[in-house]
Amino acid sequence: MLEYNSINKLISEAESAHKKISDIVLAEQALSMDLSCEELFNRMSANFDVMCEAVIKGSDKDLKSMSGLTGGEAFKMQSYIDLNNGGLAGSFVNKAIAAALSVAGYNAAMGKIVAAPTAGSCGILPGCLVTLYNEQRASRDEIIMALFTAGAFGMVIANNASIAGAEGGCQAECGSASAMAAAALVELMHGTPEQCGHAAAIAIANQLGLVCDPVAGLVEIPCIKRNASGVMIALSAADMALAGIDAKIPVDECIAAMKNVGDALPAALRETSAGGLAATPTGRKLREKVFG
C-alpha cells in the first residue's frame, strides 16, 4: 500500500516493478477506493474533459471575472500567437500559456475548473497537458494516465508541506502545480521515474518563497499570470530533466524546504492581502474599486 509520504518511495516502487509511476498509482488507488482500474481511469478522464472545456470557454474574448478586474487575457494571447508566427517563445509554449490563462481566467469568472491542486493554480496542469493533447504530442489515454502521476506528486506535497496559499504562500499552490505538471510531462515524454522526480524538484526550487498576495483578496491579480509563469517553469523543468540534468537537491528535500519556507513567511504574505502586490498603492485602489 502506497503511503504518499515520499516521492522517492514512489520512484523506487515504480523502478522495482519496472512500471511507470502512473501504473502503480492507478492500481493502488483503485484498490484503496474499491473501484476497478477502468472505473477510476474513467473518473480521471472526466476530469480531463473539464480541463479541456475550461481551456475552450476561458478563451472567449468577452469573458470577464466577477469583479471586472480581469478577463480576455487568453484571447489576447492567442491573437498575439496568430499574428506573430508563434511569438518569441514559439507556438507550443505560447499556446500552453494561453491555455493556462484560459483556465485561470475561467475560474475567476466562476466557471467550472479542476483544482489542480487548487483553484488558484488551476491553469498550470491543463495549460501543459491540454496543449500537448491539442498539438498531438501525446494520446488522450497517455495524458489521463500521466494525471495519476501528477496527482500522486501532489498528494506527497500536501502530506509533507502544503498546497494552500494561506498556509505556505503561492509556492504551495503554483509551485506544487508546476511540480505536478513537470513530473507528468516527463512521463509523457518517456522519461524515467527518477527523471520525474528531478523535474518536480527543479520546478519547486524555482518557486521557493513565492508569496501569496492576491489583490483585493481575489484569485485574479497576480494569480492568473502566475499560472502562465508556472507553465513555463514546468516545461523548462521537464526539458532539463529529460536532458539528463539532475536537480542536485532531492525532490523530497525540496518539499521539506518548501514547508520550512512557508512556515517562515509572515501572515501578510499568506493570502491575507496585507502585503506584496496587494499592499501597493494600485493594489489598494483596485480593492477600493471592487469593494468601495
pLDDT per residue as tens digits for the range 182-235 = 999 999 999 999 999 999 999 999 999 999 999 999 999 999 999 999 999 999
User: What pLDDT does 154 receive?
Assistant: 98
Percent above pLDDT 90 for the chain: 99
pLDDT per residue as tens digits for the range 155-173 = 999 999 999 999 999 999 9
pLDDT per residue as tens digits for the range 45-76 = 999 999 999 999 999 999 999 999 999 999 99
User: What pLDDT does 231 receive?
Assistant: 98
User: What pLDDT does 106 receive?
Assistant: 98
The answer to whether 177 touches 121, Cβ cutoff 8 Å, is yes
Residue type, 260: N
User: What pLDDT does 267 receive?
Assistant: 98
- The pTM (predicted TM-score) of the whole model is 0.97
Query: Where residue 292 falls among pLDDT bands split at 50, 70, 90?
Result: confident
DSSP string, 146-189: HHHHHHHHHHHHHHHS-S-HHHH-HIIIIIHHHHHHHHHHHHHT
Cα–Cα distance, 91 to 88 (Å, whole number): 9
User: What pLDDT does 200 receive?
Assistant: 99
pLDDT per residue as tens digits for the range 22-34 = 999 999 999 999 9
Q: Which of 156, 166, 198, 201 lies closest to 274 in space, CA to CA?
A: 166
pLDDT at position 1 over 90: no
pLDDT at position 95 over 90: yes
